[in-house]
Amino acid sequence: MKYHTPYSFEEAAKIAAQASGTTRFLAGGTDVLVQMRAGIVLPEELIDLKKIPGVFDMIRNEDGRWRIGAAVPGAKLGANDALVADWPGVVEGMELVGSTQVQGRATLTGNLCNGSPAADGVPALVAAGASVDITGPNGTRTIAVEDIPAGPGKTTLTKGEVISAINLPARGNNGGDAYLRFIPRTEMDIAVVGCAVNLTLDGDVIVAAKVALGAVAPTVIVADEAAKAILGTTLDDAALDKLAAAASAAANPISDKRGSREFRIEVAGVLARRAAKIAYARAKGE
């Protein structure tokens, strides 16, 4: 295995594009090193992105948009009060990944690129309308986060492409987001179901909403019907019932070691209801 430490994303993309064998990018390493140790992935080229200027930056633009560098670890997200104020759901999603120790290394970008349908960092990004900046051998492009996952362990990134940063839109006024996941223990588990809700209010009425579900399909899914169920409402009980039903209806999970299909469908609705209440309270400034 060759270990590379490029100083620009262009250089990183070039190394990856020219590689003949298995290639991995390294930021936090909390997935890559596990796969290497288990012999699941034995890369010939390992490209460490952490020497590239700006990869640890978290920048809030004047218009309120955020740009989060590819190597920013979870612990730094939670320590950024302005980010927590704008996008608490995004931060709490990432902070659920692994232990305190893992939070010292694991990154949002890595969580996305690992391609797990159960990635805790991803649903809130999708609900927030986040995008990623990609550098490839043919230049750069920006696409929505939900267009990255392509199935378990797979992404739509092509050979040589590397994500340089994640962009979050401006929070704006009267907005709130939240992420909840279900795990059997209190920590250290992979989500059996995850649900993010992002909404904006006009007075008490929800005027914009996006609901994303994790671990209930091969990729994170956007549950449009669930969002519609609460649009124009004050999140009354009837709206919550419709939301839960729509979230459950959107879920199309498998049964596996972590939970049955029936359980996941049921709990998708439960989490949607609970996450929506938190997001609503946050939007109200409560």
Partner 1 sequence: MSNIHVTTTINGDKVEFLADPRETLLDCLRDKVGLTGSKEGCGTGDCGACSVTVDGTLVCSCLVLGVEAEGKDIRTIEGMAEGGTLHPLQRKFIEHAALQCGFCTPGLLVASKALLDKNPSPTEEEVRYWIAGNLCRCTGYDKIVRAIMDAAAELRGEAA
Partner 2 sequence: MAKDEYREFRLVGTRPDRPDGLDKVTGRARYGADMTAPGMLWGAVVRSPHAHARIVKIDATKALALDGVKSVVTRADFPEGLTGEDWNLQENTIAGERALYDGHAVAAVAATSRFLAEEAARLIEVEYEVLPHVIDVDEAMKPNAPVIREGVSDATVPEGMSPNVVRKIEFGNGDVDAAFAAADLVMEKSFKTEATHQGYIEPHACVGQMGADGKGEMWVCTQGQWYIRKMCSAVLGTEASQLRVTPSEIGGGFGGKTTIFMEPLALALSRKAGGKPVKIVMSRSEVLRATGPTASASMDVKLGMKKDGTLSGVKVEFRMQGGAFPGAPTEFALYCGLAPYTFGAVEAVGYDVIANRPRCAAYRAPGAPMGSFAVESLLDEMCIELGLDALDVRFKNAVVTGDRAAYGPKFGSIGFVETLEAVKNHPNLLAELGPNQGRGIAAGYWFNHNGETSVSMAISEDGTVQVSVGTPDIGGSRASIALMVAETLGIAYEDVRVNIAETGSLGVNEPTHGSRATFASGKAAVLATEAAIKEMCKRAANEWGIEPEAVEWKDGAARPAGPNAGQFPPMTIKEIGAAMGSTGGPISGHHESLPDGVGASFGAHVVDVEVDPETGRTTILRYLVVQDAGRAIHPSYVEGQYQGGAAQGIGWALNEEYVYDDKGRLQNSVFLDYRVPLASDLPMIDTVIVEVPNPGHPYGVRGVGETGITPPLPALANAVRAATGVRMTHLPMSPSKVLAALKAR
Chain positions contacting partner 2, by CB under 8 A: 37-39, 182, 184-190, 192, 256-260, 262-263, 266-267, 270
Q: Which does 277 bind (CB under 5 to 8 A by kind): partner 1, partner 2, none?
A: none
Nearer to partner 2, 37 or 203 (CB): 37
107: tokens are 């990154």
Tokens of 233: 């409402």
Considering CB distances under 5 to 8 angstroms, the limit depending on partner class, which of partner 2, partner 1, none binds residue 258? partner 2
| Residue 275 to residues 214, 223, 267, Cα–Cα distance (Å) | 13, 14, 12
- Which partner in partner 2, partner 1, none is near 133 (CB below 5 to 8 A by kind)? none
Pick between residue 14 and residue 277 the one whose CB is nearest to partner 2: 277
The interface partner of residue 267, options being partner 1, partner 2, none and the CB cut-off 5 to 8 Å by kind, is partner 2
Residue 20 binds which of partner 2, partner 1, none (CB < 5-8 A, kind-dependent) = none
User: What is the bridge-based pairing of β-strands 66-69 and 131-136?
Assistant: unpaired
- Taking the complex as a whole, the smallest distance from the CB of residue 186 to partner 1 amounts, in Å, to 7
DSSP classification of residue 29: -
d(CA 60, CA 273): 30
Q: Which residue has the tokens 């590689």?
A: 19
Which is closer to partner 1, CB of 98 or CB of 175? 98
Rounded Cα distance, 207 and 173, in Å:
12
Q: Write down the least CB distance from residue 16 to partner 1, Å.
A: 16
Q: How far is the CB of 72 from partner 1 (least distance, A)?
A: 12
Of 58 and 270, the one with the shorter C-beta distance to partner 2 is 270
If the CB atoms of residues 229 and 265 are measured against partner 2, the closer one turns out to be: 265
**C-beta of residue 89 within 8 angstroms of C-beta of residue 124:** yes
Q: What type of residue sits at position 130?
A: A
Tell which residue, 192, 276, 173, has the closest CA to residue 228.
276
Query: CA 162, CA 23: separation in Å to the nearest integer?
Result: 11
DSSP structural state of residue 237: H
Question: Least distance (Å) from partner 1 to the CB of residue 102?
Answer: 5
Q: Which is nearer to partner 2, 56 or 263 (CB)?
A: 263
Per CB under 8 A, residues contacting partner 1 are 1-3, 26, 28-30, 33-34, 36-38, 46, 48, 50, 73, 75, 98-102, 104-105, 186-188
Q: Would you say 79 or 238 has its CB closer to partner 1?
A: 79
Give 254's DSSP letter: P
Distance CA 183, CA 66 (A): 30
The least distance separating partner 2 from the CB of residue 96, rounded to whole angstroms, comes to 12
What is the nearest approach in angstroms of partner 1 to the Cβ of residue 193?
20
CA 46 → CA 13, 53, 109, 134, distances in Å? 12, 18, 16, 18
Q: Shortest approach of partner 1 to residue 192 CB, angstroms?
A: 17
The position carrying tokens 């409402």 is: 233
